[in-house]
Amino acid sequence: MRGKQRIVVLSGPSGSGKTTLVKRLIHEAPVRLVKSISATTRKPRPQEVDGDDYYFLDDAEFRKRLANNEFIEHAEVFSSGFLYGTLRTELERAWHAGGWAFLEIDVQGAMKVMQQYPQAVTIFLKTPSPDEFERRLRGRGTESEDIIQKRLATAAKELQFADRYQYSVVNDQLDDAVRQICAILKSEESAENA
């Protein structure tokens, strides 16, 4: 069963360099990763494309899908005021393609996925230091001061969940982080096929 329902969960603070890392992993991982596209009620940022970065839903549509039991997990991501969730159909899409469903979700969602899919490979991405994290967050230049402060508080809160994940990876040098995660996936795949 496990072989058919492969899941990787990656969590880490927004601004930890996750987006770039995820893109690299999709191309470079030794296993086929199919990125789950989350649904969210937050508005698209410039450059973000509906159905590609996220499914951007309004509150009513999100809640309707929740009521229809279409999500495997959802959460109001800390301090954001917005709902985010993983649609069941995203897992199925990955599995039908013969790949691993790759979920980049927050710690609350990750805890729910771990309960339902104990076989999930779980990775927490850390930033090298709080200062470096703040620098990266500001460097992106897309968020207001209020949002930045909230994200810093969220990151501190999320860090408390790090030891609930199977693996922790520090995203200091991008190449190193990519290499470490590829090694994790390779060994998980080998263990599964043993």
Is 188 a binding residue for ligand 5GP by CB under 6 A? The answer is: no
When asked if residue 16 is in the footprint of ligand 5GP (CB under 6 A), the reply is no
Contact between 9 and ligand 5GP (CB under 6 A)? no
14 binds ligand 5GP (CB under 6 A): yes
Interface with ligand 5GP by CB under 6 A: which range of 61-69, 79-87, 116-124, 178-186? 79-87
- Applying CB under 6 A, which of residues 62, 100, 101, 106 lies at the interface with ligand 5GP? 106
CB 65 within 8 A of CB 39: yes
Picking from 7, 9, 8, 2, the residue whose alpha carbon sits closest to that of residue 106 is 9
Q: Does 17 bind ligand 5GP (CB under 6 A)?
A: no
Q: Which of 9, 29, 57, 108 binds ligand 5GP (CB under 6 A)?
A: 108
Whole-Å CA distances, 57 to 35, 60, 83 = 19, 8, 10
Pick from 104, 114, 155, 169: which binds ligand 5GP (CB under 6 A)? 104
Quick one: which segment of 72-80, 91-99, 115-123, 127-135 binds ligand 5GP (CB under 6 A)?
A: 72-80
Pick the piece of the chain touching ligand 5GP (CB under 6 A) from 71-79, 114-122, 168-176, 186-194: 71-79
Give least dist CB 30 to ligand 5GP, A: 23
Tell me how far apart the alpha carbons of residues 165 and 123 are, in angstroms, rounded to a whole number.
6
Can you tell me which of 75, 91, 111, 178 binds ligand 5GP, judged by CB under 6 A?
75
Q: Which of residues 84-103 bind ligand 5GP (CB under 6 A)?
A: 84-86
Q: How far is the CB of 159 from ligand 5GP (least distance, A)?
A: 12
Cα dist. 160→7, 108, 111 in Å? 23, 12, 13
User: In whole angstroms, what is the distance from residue 182 CA to residue 179 CA?
Assistant: 5
Q: Which residues bind ligand 5GP (CB under 6 A)?
A: 14, 38, 42, 73, 75, 77, 84-86, 104-106, 108-109
